[in-house]
Amino acid sequence: MILPATTAKMNKSTPVILRKLESSKGFIVKAWDEFSDDFKDALYPHRHDHYTGMLIENGEVEVLLDFEPFRMPAKTLFISPPWQIHQVHKASQASGWYFSFENDLFEESVRATLDKFLEEIISIELTNTEYNWFKSVLLSITALDELNEIPYKEVSHPLLSAFVAQAGLTYQSKPQINTVNFASRPVIITKKFINLVRHNFHRLKKPADYAEKLHISVSYLNDTVKKITGLSASLIIQKEILREAQRILYYTDTSIKEISDLLGYEDEKYFMRLFRKKTGFSPTEYRKHNSPPDDYLF
C-alpha cells in the first residue's frame, strides 16, 4: 500500500535531526519494512554524520534527498554520503535492508572506492545475480550476532568491506558511468578538494584556502577541478554554500540573518546578494516558492 499522506505541512520550527552512528562496531545492518520503527523515523527530515544506504528487496520507496525526489524500485542499492538531508516521502509495500557505517572503518583501498566517485550518491538498479550477492552478504553480517557472543571485527569488517568495494565496482560497470581514470592524480585532487569544501565551507570561502591545505598552487587547483568537473573551484565552493542555504530555507524557519551567520557571512546583505545572483531569488522569495509539498508524511 501507499503510506497515507496528510494535508498538514511540516513544522519548520522543528530542527532537522542529526543522526549519529550509535554502535561500538562502527556500523549497523538491519532488515526493515514499512512498520519498522527505524523506517517510521525516516519519515521526518534528517541527516547523518556517516555513510548510509539501503538495499530495496520489495516494493518501491520514494525519498527526498536534499529536497529532490528520488525513486528506488525493488533491487535498488544506494549509498549516500554524510550530511545530505533525507526524508522518506512515499512507500509502496516496501521492505529491504538498511545499513550505516563510518568510512574510516575500512582499509585505504576500500575507502578509495567511495571517495573516487564524484557523484553525490551511488545508486544502482541491480540484476538478480547482483541483488542476490549483496543480500547474501548482509544476511551473513546479521547472522554473526547469532554465531558469536561478542562482535569480532576480524570477521564483520571484511564482509562489510567486500560489500562496499563490490558496490563501487558494480556502479562503475554500469553503462551510464563515465569511464574516467578514477586513480588519476587530477581526480584524486578534485575529490579531496570537494571533501574539504563539504567540511569547511562555513569558514573557508576562497580557492586559495583549499589550495594551501592540498599543498598545491591556486592555479593548479583551478585547472584541475575545471578539467574534471567542468566547474571552477570558486563555483564549487559557492554551490556547496548555496545548497546548505537552500536546505535551511526549505526545512526550517531560521531567519535570514541567522542563516547568514551559520554560513560564515558577517554581512547579511552580501549573502542575500550572492543568493539572488546565483538562484534568481532572494532568500525570502526562495523560501516562499519552495515550501515542502502538502503531502509530506507528518
Q: Which run of H or E residues covers position 151?
A: none
Q: 3-class DSSP state for residue 67?
A: coil
Cα–Cα distance measured from residue 91 to residue 111, given in angstroms and rounded to the nearest whole number: 31
Number of H-type helices and E-type strands within the chain: 11, 8
The CATH superfamily holding the domain 185-289 is: Homeodomain-like (1.10.10.60)
Alpha-carbon distance of 258 to 89, in angstroms, equals: 28
Mind listing the pLDDT tens digit for each residue in 124-171? 899 999 999 999 999 999 999 888 888 788 899 899 989 988 998 888
**Taking the domains of the chain in order of start, what are their residue ranges?**
17-173, 185-289
Q: Which residues of the chain have pLDDT under 70?
A: 1-15, 67, 109, 112-120, 175-184, 291-298
The DSSP secondary structure of 233-282, one letter per residue, reads: HHHHHHHHHHHHHHHHHHH----HHHHHHHTT-S-HHHHHHHHHHHHSS-
pLDDT tens profile 243-280: 899 888 988 889 999 999 999 999 999 999 999 998 88
Contact 69, 62 (CB under 8 A): yes
Q: Which CATH class is domain 17-173?
A: mainly beta
What are the angstrom distances between the C-alpha of 59 and each of 66, 73, 145? Answer: 23, 6, 28
Same topology, domains 17-173 and 185-289? Answer is no
Closest Cα partner for 245 from 295, 199, 286?
Answer: 286
* Stated pTM of the model: 0.66
